[in-house]
Structure 1
Amino acid sequence: MNFFYVLNSKSVKQFALILVVSIFTAWFLYVENIVQIPVFSSKDGPKAVYKGEKGVALTFNIGWGDKKAEPILDILKEEKVNATFFLAGSWAERHPELVNRMVKEGHEIGVLGYDYVDYSEVKEEKIRQDLSKAKTAFEKLKIENIVLSRAPTGHFNQSALSIADQYGYTLVHWSIDSKDWTNPGSEQIIKKAASAKKGDIVLLHASDSAKQTANALPEIIKKLQKKNLEFVTVSEMISNAESKSKEVH
């Protein structure tokens, strides 16, 4: 009798341990899905976001070219979808009419630096110069209230986070990478982008190098609508999150 009692006691303890671990794992996954999580940050410093709490955000990077942006804007207008466009300052200077159209049609503008600079591999002064030039470019175009930025190559470090914060920008990454710039075929782009769930930020491109994005976009929108996901801008997605900014002296 005593032998079976001890054996059963051990089994109960093992079961309890497994139950606790399972509950903790489920809780962690739940929190990860509903809470905006920094992709890279210090304990107390500014944070880069790659996930939000509501809807789904389609984001488009544009660094060069003048052929692909307009067809994408036409599709978004027809589908009544607002997106967030991260624009290189140098591109915006060359295409003010497209930038103004984006604003007029309700899309959000974010800064994609000025040149194609890898923020993780250059000195702080170069990052400052790049963001400063971009900021000046958008000011000349009278595009106000820009609060978001994205590292031009997608790579960044703590210095880049801090400098972006000093310019008043929240640095935005992504949770779904469509890989559309590799031109893998419309079906592959659709498959990746349409896998998005609530709170995801989807990376797409409207530069001329992304030759298949416009063809894939209508089906991406259709599939995400079937999931009853609301299309929101990044700022709308993270509007309930705390943000920090510092004045540049």
Structure 2
Amino acid sequence: MKYLLLVGAFILAAGTFGNPSNAMFQDSTMKNAVINEALYQEIKSYSEQHEIKPIDAKVDRVWKAMPGYNGLIVDVDASYDKMKTAGKFDETKLVFKEVPPSVHLDDLDPQPIFRGNPDKPMVSLLINVAWGDEYIPTILNILNDQQVKATFFFDGSWTKKNPDLALMIYNDGHEIGNHAYSHPDLQKRSRTETMEEISKTNDVIEQTIGFKPKWFGPPSGSFNQQTIDVAHELNMKMILWTVDTVDWKKPEPSEMVQRVVSKVENGSMILMHPTDPVAKGLGAMIADIKAKGLRLGTVSDLMSENRID
């Protein structure tokens, strides 16, 4: 038996060393496995060093409800698959994936929203519409030329009187919000009246454009906890603003633009109306905001946890 084992070992060794190609193949396979393992670990190490943690939604002391923001990590396995043929690390072939936060905007108690996440380089234009019909076509043309989508908050009575104009704004791809029915001071309205103002406007908007708003902008920024609670009961969130154009005071367009742009930062929401100063200054305002490295999007875009990189 011992003799047979020795013979078998001799034959196996002879087969290996007697065939140079077999020996080279085994050596090559082992070497390649080591290189690939090193590559995998290099990608993993890069991922750990460059991970961006997600940010939870929270209730800020000043800004109240603030949305979360996705984190970012390297998808190690997907990145490895793209690099394994070459067998070396290539930063241009890295594959990233977003990591959602643990706490979302919907998890928070009902609160007003004054701004987006301060880590997201985006701002939104809030255009409250209850009057100023003559300036809307100009504003729409500017937004179209600049490839910007805004969120228009419709007064219910205005929508009922101007269904074609309301539909034109919606068909241009802009987001539609609710601005109550008769521009009331909601701090002075009962719960029943507040419910009627918001619900009636939702109904008119839905009948006009086939879409029910999810954002509510209180007229003149007047609200109380009752207003917030009623909007919440209607599955809506209340939107206010970070920066005000104060366009209703008819400022010089250039002064308005300079003042607004100087205050705009990540997550800002800019309040305006279809007025002459906005019609004359909106193009410059958008250009200056873009020059600060900020994107412009709807309220839904801004509230989204999706990253902008």
TM over 0.5, shorter chain: yes
d(CA) in 2 for partners of 1:137 and 1:145? 9
Partner of 2:105 in structure 1?
none
In structure 2, the residue corresponding to 1:198 is in which secondary structure? coil
Indicate if the aligned counterparts of 1:36 and 1:238 stay in contact, CA closer than 8 A.
Answer: no
In structure 1, the residue corresponding to 2:259 is in which secondary structure? helix
In structure 2, the residue corresponding to 1:57 is in which secondary structure? strand
**Match of residue 198, structure 1, among 266, 274, 288:** 266
User: In the alignment, is residue 219 of structure 1 matched against residue 284 of structure 2?
Assistant: yes
Change (3 A) 1:202 1:36: farther
d(CA) in 2 for partners of 1:36 and 1:236? 19
User: In the alignment, is residue 78 of structure 1 matched against residue 145 of structure 2?
Assistant: yes
Cα deviation 1:56-110 (Å, max 9, x = unaligned): 1011111124211111111101111110111101111122222222222211000
Quote how far apart the aligned CAs of 1:211 are. 2.2
Indicate if the aligned counterparts of 1:149 and 1:169 stay in contact, CA closer than 8 A.
Answer: yes
Partner AA of 1:51 in structure 2: R
Indicate if the aligned counterparts of 1:124 and 1:159 stay in contact, CA closer than 8 A.
Answer: yes
Partner of 1:245 in structure 2?
none
Partner of 2:296 in structure 1?
231
In structure 1, the residue corresponding to 2:294 is in which secondary structure? coil
TM-score by length of 2: 0.62
Alignment of 1:96-245 (within 5 A): 96-195=163-262, 196-206=264-274, 210-240=275-305
- Structure 1 ranges of 4+ moved more than 2 A: 34-41
d(CA) in 1 for partners of 2:128 and 2:140? 13
Change (3 A) 1:40 1:226: closer
In structure 2, the residue corresponding to 1:48 is in which secondary structure? coil
d(CA) in 2 for partners of 1:145 and 1:229? 29
In structure 2, the residue corresponding to 1:82 is in which secondary structure? coil
Partner of 2:53 in structure 1?
none
Partner AA of 1:203 in structure 2: L
Which structure has the higher relative contact order (CA within 8 Å, separation 6+)?
1
Indicate if the aligned counterparts of 2:247 and 2:272 stay in contact, CA closer than 8 A.
Answer: yes
In structure 2, the residue corresponding to 1:231 is in which secondary structure? strand
Indicate if the aligned counterparts of 1:90 and 1:114 stay in contact, CA closer than 8 A.
Answer: yes
Partner of 1:87 in structure 2?
154
Quote how far apart the aligned CAs of 1:145 are. 4.1
Partner of 1:50 in structure 2?
114
d(CA) in 1 for partners of 2:111 and 2:239? 9
Change (3 A) 1:218 1:154: same
Using the TM superposition, name which of 142-151 and 229-238 deviates more: 142-151
Indicate if the aligned counterparts of 2:155 and 2:178 stay in contact, CA closer than 8 A.
Answer: yes
In structure 2, the residue corresponding to 1:60 is in which secondary structure? strand
Aligned length: 203
In structure 1, the residue corresponding to 2:126 is in which secondary structure? strand
User: Could you say what the CA RMSD is over the residues aligned between the two structures, in angstroms?
Assistant: 2.0
Q: Max radius of gyration: which structure? A: 2
d(CA) in 2 for partners of 1:145 and 1:135? 6
Quote how far apart the aligned CAs of 1:36 are. 7.3
In structure 1, the residue corresponding to 2:296 is in which secondary structure? coil
Quote how far apart the aligned CAs of 1:205 are. 0.7
Q: Identity across aligned pairs (percent)? A: 28
* Structure 1 unaligned blocks of 5 or more: 1-33, 242-249
Change (3 A) 1:91 1:154: same
